[in-house]
Amino acid sequence: MTHVRIHRFEKLWLGAAFVLIVAFIATIVYGSLGPGVAMVGDDGGTVNPDNPTAADNFRDPGVYQADDDSYDVYVEARQFAFSPGTSEPIRVPADTNVTFHVTSGDVTHGFELVGTNVNTMVIPGQVAQLTVNFDEARTHHIVCHEYCGPAHHAMEGSIEVVPQSEFTPPQQAAADQSEVTDT
């Protein structure tokens, strides 16, 4: 058996490559355990991307009360607005569990509350779900962080978190579920 000699520089590069692999794995482990970075889950289910708000698991965009201290917010993203969010702010009460259900009616968008870890991709055909407990009454800025067309940079909105005492639940029609239409 011949003795294989590895050149000094080759050893150095092997070592450097190994250190990089370990570092990359460490950043992924840190991201998932620390800040909670994850793929868009499938908890929200799927919808017909051509008509997402007609799906059984989606509702007319807006804020709905689920129980005493939880709310559901259905948001549809389209070039170049969040509905609700852009033309009128999303109003929710502080210190409650607010679950956002966000989907897209056209291309991939982003949904991020600036300065927080509330951040998801919005993929056509999929409903992204995030539950947030806002501990202070303040306004949050929503931005789209996935390039979605020429006015991507202008796609934004806001969320007004108000004290529970000042919050009036939105009116909800008994038949708030929109009709499912055949496509």
| Footprint on this chain of ligand CUA (rule: CB under 6 A) | 80, 109, 144, 146-148, 152, 155
When the beta carbons of 94 and 128 are compared against ligand CUA, the nearer one is 128
Cβ pair 92, 63 in contact under 8 A: yes
Cβ pair 111, 128 in contact under 8 A: yes
Q: How far is the CB of 158 from ligand CUA (least distance, A)?
A: 15
When the beta carbons of 71 and 82 are compared against ligand CUA, the nearer one is 82
When the beta carbons of 77 and 94 are compared against ligand CUA, the nearer one is 77
Closest among 108, 110, 111, 148 to 124, alpha carbons compared: 108
Distance CA 156, CA 86 (A): 6
Secondary element (H or E) of residue 12: helix 8-33
When the beta carbons of 128 and 144 are compared against ligand CUA, the nearer one is 144
Q: How far is the CB of 76 from ligand CUA (least distance, A)?
A: 12
Q: How far is the CB of 110 from ligand CUA (least distance, A)?
A: 6
Distance CA 120, CA 135 (A): 20
